[in-house]
């Protein structure tokens, strides 16, 4: 009853020995190069006898044949599926860094598409609305203020020109031009609202006048009185003054106003008389007007440094 089972075990042992013989030959045994089958069989018998095994000729022959034709040699699988299988087996090694990279990319893409892009789109829309609606409305409001407050038609005309220029710039998408129009209208409004008296500076250590050679004519002499603007509360104002020698505008609290020599001489004599300038009024600027109404003759030029 046990004969079939014993025969199967013998066949299985022979197969295992055949595989082992082929593997031994692949690893190499001590035989001369190019040795024939007899020499290989003799060498193999010796190796296995040292291990206490006596091999049949059939096992030796089968093992040598298997080693020769590579029957039991391992040949790694190739192709896309095999590559995927190897990746899957090695997932513990490459999985965590790949997962981390995927998370970083996912978070970055999410932030870009759901955060940065909507934010930029919102900024663009705000800029568009400000350029097409906000700035023109601001120009209209400034023009209305100037038109209602001015007492001279030149201010209203100038404001209308600035407003129209600014709206045209806004319609063309020129933000700088529109901003400049708003700045110019604001400056015009502020200039209209100024209310001050222009007086000669009468302070210790400050000369009330000076003379200078014009830059384009060294043989001529220009005469200046030093003036300051004082508002209705008695505060000295700082105003934008353009210097005639450089053409640059600076915000200053005192500046030189060019006058005829006779006016200059009269001011200097008034100061030297008793150290006090009794006739210091030069002019006054009223709310709603653009220019100073001068009480003395002037020549119009100004200097911010002397």
Q: Is the pLDDT of residue 121 over 70?
A: yes
Give the list of residues 6+ apart from residue 166 with CB closer than 8 angstroms, or none: 135, 136, 139, 177, 178, 180, 181, 182, 184, 185
Residue-wise DSSP of 38-87: HHHHHHHHHHHHHTT----HHHHHHHHHHHHHTTT------SHHHHHHHH
Which pLDDT does position 180 carry in this prediction? 96
**Average pLDDT of every residue of the chain:** 86
Which pLDDT does position 32 carry in this prediction? 63
Which pLDDT does position 92 carry in this prediction? 85
pLDDT digits (tens, 9 = 90+) for 62-79: 777 777 776 656 666 677
Among the listed ranges 5-9, 18-22, 110-114, 120-124, which one has the minimum average pLDDT value?
A: 5-9
Report residue 8's pLDDT band, with 50, 70 and 90 as the boundaries: very low
**C-alpha of 60 from chain center:** 79
């Amino acid at each position: 009853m046990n004969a079939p089972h014993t025969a199967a075990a013998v066949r299985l042992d022979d197969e295992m020995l055949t595989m082992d013989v082929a593997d031994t030959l692949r690893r190499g045994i001590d035989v001369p190069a190019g040795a024939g089958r007899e020499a290989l069989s003799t060498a193999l018998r010796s190796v296995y006898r040292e291990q206490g095994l006596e091999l049949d000729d059939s096992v030796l022959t089968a093992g040598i044949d298997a080693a020769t034709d590579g029957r039991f040699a391992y040949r790694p699988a190739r192709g896309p599926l095999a590559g995927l299988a190897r990746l899957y087996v090695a997932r513990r090694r490459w999985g965590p860094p790949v997962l981390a990279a995927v998370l970083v990319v996912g978070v970055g893409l999410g932030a870009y598409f759901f955060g940065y892009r909507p934010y930029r789109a919102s900024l663009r829309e705000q800029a568009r609305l400000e350029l097409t609606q906000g700035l023109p409305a601001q120009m209209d409001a400034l023009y209305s203020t100037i038109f209602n407050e001015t007492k001279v038609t030149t201010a209203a005309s100038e404001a209308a020109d600035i407003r129209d220029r600014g709206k045209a710039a806004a319609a063309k998408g020129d933000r700088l031009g529109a901003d400049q129009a708003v700045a110019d209208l604001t400056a015009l409004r502020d200039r209209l609202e100024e209310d001050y008296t222009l007086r000669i500076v009468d302070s210790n250590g400050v000369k009330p006048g000076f003379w200078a050679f014009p830059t384009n004519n060294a043989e001529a002499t220009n005469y200046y009185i030093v003036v300051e603007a004082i508002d209705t509360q008695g505060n000295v104002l700082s105003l934008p003054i353009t210097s005639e020698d450089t053409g640059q505008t600076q915000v200053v609290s005192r500046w030189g106003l060019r006058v005829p020599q006779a006016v200059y001489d009269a001011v200097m004599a008034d100061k030297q008389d008793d150290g006090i300038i009794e006739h210091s009024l030069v002019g006054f600027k009223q709310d709603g007007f653009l220019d100073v109404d001068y009480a003395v003759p002037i020549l119009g030029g100004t200097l911010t440094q002397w």
